[in-house]
Amino acid sequence: MVSEYFRFENEEIKGLTITILVLSFIMSFREWGTDKFDVGTGLTNLFNTIVIVTIAIIVREFAQRIFALRHGYRYEYRMWMYGLIIGLVLVFASYGWLTFIAPGGLVLHQITRARIGKFRHGLSYMNILQVSLAGPVANIILAMVFKMFMFLPNTALIEKAITINILIAVFALLPIPPLNGANVFFQSRLIYVFSYASIIGTGILVYFANVLLAIVGGLLLGGLMWLVYYLKVESA
């Protein structure tokens, strides 16, 4: 079953390729020279960004596919063309100072034979939430892995890889359909507040501090924001 449902369909490959190229262009927009426009420097930076974004997106997609299959669903990637266009318009209009990253959304299709015997046999919104969180969490974990290599002499690319993975995770959890964040937000506000605060806190601390502090600090921030939201909104 894994080999049958884990593979990428042609439409998904096309969508992922377009997404990777557009996101790479957006995230390397201001890297075409320092004092003046330099084609060689720009192409080198664009190539490096494409490699990093490809790794980040593949890790994200694999994590979401694995979680989907684990719960008995076939995973399908959906490119968000309007989101990519918004990102391009913003980056051009602001000369690269404003960034909007739209990594796309997902659709789950029930695998009937895999769902037999499951509680509430049909499509579970909680399962959609779990799959939607798997991608951003995978990107944050990947950022932590890159952070462990910051002892190497040339860390510019490693730092860039950390930044890109954090940005993809943070933007993916925005509560805007069809991004992953919408699936979490409309299923459980409490889980959304905890997970988004944890992702943001962990991302900031991974970049500026260390992995251990990032994990502890991120979870503490998530727990604090969960408590504040529960007391101020849910129980009000």
Alpha helices in the chain (DSSP H): 2-6, 10-27, 39-70, 81-93, 112-115, 125-147, 156-172, 180-185, 189-208, 211-229
Per-residue confidence (pLDDT) for residue 205, from 0 to 100: 98
Q: What is the pLDDT of residues 192-211, one digit of tens each?
A: 999 999 999 999 999 999 99
Size of the chain in residues: 236
Q: What is the pLDDT of residues 44-83, one digit of tens each?
A: 999 999 999 999 999 999 999 999 999 889 999 999 999 9
The string of DSSP codes covering 31-66 is -S-SSS--HHHHHHHHHHHHHHHHHHHHHHHHHHHH
Q: What is the pLDDT of residues 83-140, one digit of tens each?
A: 999 999 999 999 999 999 999 999 999 886 655 556 566 678 899 999 999 999 999 9
DSSP state of 76: E
Rounded Cα distance, 88 and 109, in Å: 31
Residue spans per domain, the chain:
2-164
What is the C-alpha R_g of the chain?
19
* 0.85 exceeded by pTM: yes
Residue from 141, 129, 131 nearest 168 by CA: 141
Dihedral angle of Cα 20, 26, 32, 37, to the nearest 10 degrees: 130
Q: How far is CA 82 from its chain centroid? A: 17
Per-residue confidence (pLDDT) for residue 119, from 0 to 100: 55
